[in-house]
Amino acid sequence: MIAHSHPDSIDGARRSLVCTAGDWTHFTGIQPRNLDGDIKEQARDAIARLQELMTDAGLRQSDLFTVTIWLKDMRYFAGLNAVWNAWVDADNPPARTCVSGELYRPDLLLEIVAVAYRTGDAA
């Protein structure tokens, strides 16, 4: 059975931010809520949103399996990494890919896609 949660709409495109099937949970389209800030501020906001969604799903950082981060421009890579490295579980980091591409809004600097696998009870 697939469970869909956190329904959302971007410019009329309906989607679920979170879909779970068994022990697998997919998070997609995780964006910062505030688009006024620089890359560090937007990264902190998007990562906080991912953390909230993971907590709601009963998941820990160490349950993250893969993460793909889309950047508007690779010039933001160092700023993103500064925020990411302060947040991620240093002993259990997920496989991570960072790519650049055109995002749907000019003020959006990043978007996160993540997959987690439930390994036990949330801490």
Q: Which candidate, 18, 94, 95, places its Cα nearest to that of 61?
A: 94
| Residue 69, beta-bridge partner list | 98, 112
The confidence band for 90, taking pLDDT boundaries of 50, 70 and 90, is very high
Centroid of chain to Cα 50:
5
| 2-10/110-117 β-pairing | unpaired
Is 70 exceeded by the pLDDT of residue 4? no
Tokens for 110, please give them. Answer: 């990043």
Spell out the domains of the chain, with CATH numbers in brackets: 2-117 (3.30.1330.40)
Is 50 exceeded by the pLDDT of residue 123? no
Lowest mean pLDDT among 6-10, 18-22, 27-31, 74-78: 6-10
The confidence band for 42, taking pLDDT boundaries of 50, 70 and 90, is very high
CA distance from start to end of the chain: 25
Is 70 exceeded by the pLDDT of residue 122? no
